[in-house]
Amino acid sequence: MSARLVSVAALVALSLPVFQAAAQQQVPPAPAQEPSAPAPSGPPVFPKPDPANFTAATPTKEVVNAFLQTSWGFDDTRVWQVQAIQKTSVEGISKVTIVVGDKNGKQKTSAIQFFVLQDGKHIVAGDEIIPFGEHPFADFRAQLQQHADGPYRGSPSKDLEIVEFADFQCPHCKDAQANMDKLAVDFPKARIVFQNYPLARLHAQAVTAATYGVCVAKQGGSNAFFTYAAAVFDGQDGLSSSDGATLTLNSAVTKAGLDPAKISACATTPAAGASVEASVKLAQDLNVNQTPVLMVNGRQVPANVPYDTLKQIIAYQMKLDGISQ
């Protein structure tokens, strides 16, 4: 997994280090961190903030806390404190320092710093630019509502939209399908959308599998697509070679009730390729650089986190967006 999620991206991975081993990305993963010292027992005792460290007019402490509450509020054991909001040598850019721990003392208290940009809507954390503010996921949610056009299951309403970015040749994406199937049952109000994000640098047959999927959805609809997708993931080992991919994909098309020859011909058209490219661009515009990833009303969450945690995050996002269970 990328260092972005480990820093502040969705501000989830800090409490869920298992994420780091459960995704694939176009670029090499961050170096492994040295083992940390044993965590303290009991709730953390944070140092008292020094008023002299609050020299920037923006953002306010209230905005920072609202951002953290939106990002971290699904976990009622998480506690934090804003330690400083300071001016920098660049006009309009502020440096924010927080300390974070948990009520049970299971994690070592740590400090996080990020820089708030002049527009007040973005921060720089590590080497990434990340949405910021009281409603940090709103812009991404709007983009997804407009541009996430992949096949979907569940509700036609976009009030609760869960968009999966996945690569058919990614083993972690295959593993995540158990979570996706459970979500479809447990969140009947959700519109669960599949968006292709083939990692072509890692997986030689991923783009072909994606273009086949585009054509299956076009000719057979969403139900046929999800039958196809399940079959491709089940037979994923067959994608390890060109000949094996042809057999695997044609078999999946047949299971979806469609003609492999027609789908194969469609998959080579410019329109099919353009659809996959548009889906990849959407992922990149949303700062998605690994698979599998979910966008839950604009909130980025790895798709293969423990299922109870995933349910907890989705339920919390529903609460934030005023959606009843």
Could you tell me what percent of the chain has a pLDDT over 90? 80
Higher pLDDT: 108 or 135? It is 135
From 114, 136, 158, the end of a domain falls on 136
pLDDT tens by residue, 149-185: 999 999 999 999 999 999 999 999 999 999 999 999 9
Q: Are residues 266 and 207 in the same domain?
A: yes
Reply yes or no on whether the pLDDT at 22 is more than 80: no
On the question of pLDDT at 50 being above 90, the answer is yes
In this prediction, residue 9 has a pLDDT band, given cuts at 50, 70 and 90, of very low
The DSSP annotation for 126-157 comes to TTEEEE-SSSTTHHHHHHHHHH--S-EEE-S-
Average pLDDT over residues 34-47: 68
Of the candidates 136, 161, 166, the one whose C-alpha atom is nearest the C-alpha of residue 147 is 161
What is the per-residue pLDDT across 257-281, written as a single tens digit (0 to 9) for each? 999 999 999 999 999 999 999 999 9
Looking at per-residue pLDDT, the higher value among 41 and 130 belongs to: 130
Q: How far is CA 54 from the centre of its chain?
A: 33
Task: Please name the amino acid found at residue 32.
Answer: A
Cα separation, 69 vs 73, in Å, equals 5
Is residue 2 one of the residues assigned to a domain?
A: no
Across 226-232, average pLDDT = 98
More confident residue, 142 or 4: 142
Domain that holds residue 50: 36-136
Does residue 320 fall inside a structural domain? no
CATH number of domain containing 299: 3.40.30.10
Which of the two residues, 15 and 68, has the higher pLDDT score?
Answer: 68
152 shares a domain with 46:
no
**Does residue 126 sit in the same domain as residue 145?**
no
Residue where a domain stops, chosen among 136, 155, 173? 136
